[in-house]
Structure 1
Amino acid sequence: MSANSRLTTAAHALAWIGLYQRQGHEVATSEQIATSANTNPVVIRRLLGELRRAGLVESRRGAGAGWSLARELGSITLLDVYEAVEPGPLFAMHRTTPDQGCVVGHGIQPAMRGIYQDIEETLRHELARVTLEKVLRDVLAAPRQPL
């Protein structure tokens, strides 16, 4: 099972747009952001569409088209980003109902449900504590590795 990178890529895009705007630019293109994230612009456009629906970015069409922040980085938390790009629970139950005649099959979902709820509550609490402003500060403070 591979890890999901949508939250990381969305945070990357927002931090990039925030820095780009601080440098005096009004809008950023999905191609520019995709170059930084080393991914396809379509991936970035899809994520930005979800972030737009959540009110975190705005888009401009036509001449001068691109993306801009709808809010300051200091008012956007990683929880805001997570909720925009990761709908649904972090963990899921079986795709089909386990054998209810089996002691483990009968009890596994109730046992795991409580554990998962606690984990998700902790995750949400921690994500709510971190703003994109802090993420950008940490990015800018990180030592650069030689290529």
Structure 2
Amino acid sequence: MRKDSRLSRVLHVLVHLDASDAPVTSDTMASMINTNPVVVRRTMGLMRDRGYVTSVKGHSGGWSLSKPLNEITLLDVHTALGENSVFTIGLTDEHTQCPIEHAVNAALKDVMNEAEALMLERFGEITLDILAVGFQRPDNAYTG
């Protein structure tokens, strides 16, 4: 099963933006997280819609933070991405008439809802500046 790593990738990029003295291009961010610049632009557009970043077109353009990291939480970013669930596992609906499937789904649903509520609560308590602790950039160079 493929993992959804959009949240961790965006967090990675946002911390880099905080460390940068100049706007960072979509191409540079794409190389940081091994993806396509179009994916970066689409994702960063979601962050811009929430007011977390700004963009400037043209020469010397790129993306910059518009809010300090201590004003953005993991939950903010998760929500901006439009994520429905923190889990990639789901319930089965192939045998809707089977009482065993109903029992399994009911048990899993309760546990997953409980775990997700706790996780989202914790996401709301963690600001992005916490992720940058210990990260010190020796110069303005990309460090991956």
Query: When the two structures are superposed, what TM-score results if normalisation uses the length of structure 2?
Result: 0.80
Q: What residue in structure 2 maps to residue 129 of structure 1?
A: 125
Q: What residue in structure 2 maps to residue 42 of structure 1?
A: 38
- Partner AA of 1:19 in structure 2: A
TM-superposed CA distance for 1:42, in Å, is 2.2
- Partner AA of 1:81 in structure 2: V
Contact 1:7 1:86 (C-alpha < 8 Å) held by counterparts:
no
RMSD after superposition: 2.1
Unaligned stretches of 5+ residues in structure 1: 142-147
Q: Deviations over 1:21-46 (max 9, x none)?
A: xxx32x21111222322333223222
Q: What residue in structure 1 maps to residue 113 of structure 2?
A: 117
TM-superposed CA distance for 1:64, in Å, is 3.5
Report the identity percentage: 32
Alignment partners' CA distance in 2, 1:52 and 1:59: 8
Moved more, 72-81 or 82-91: 82-91
Query: When the two structures are superposed, what TM-score results if normalisation uses the length of structure 1?
Result: 0.79
- Partner AA of 1:30 in structure 2: S
Alignment partners' CA distance in 2, 1:87 and 1:104: 29
Q: What residue in structure 2 maps to residue 144 of structure 1?
A: none
Q: Deviations over 1:25-72 (max 9, x none)?
A: 2x2111122232233322322221121122211122244421111211
Matched ranges for 1:1-147 at <5 A: 1-20=1-20, 24-25=21-22, 27-91=23-87, 92-94=90-92, 96=93, 98-100=95-97, 102-140=98-136
Q: Deviations over 1:67-111 (max 9, x none)?
A: 1112111111111111122521234333x45332x2212223322
Q: What residue in structure 2 maps to residue 145 of structure 1?
A: none
Return structure 1 stretches of 4+ with deviation > 6 angstroms. Answer: none
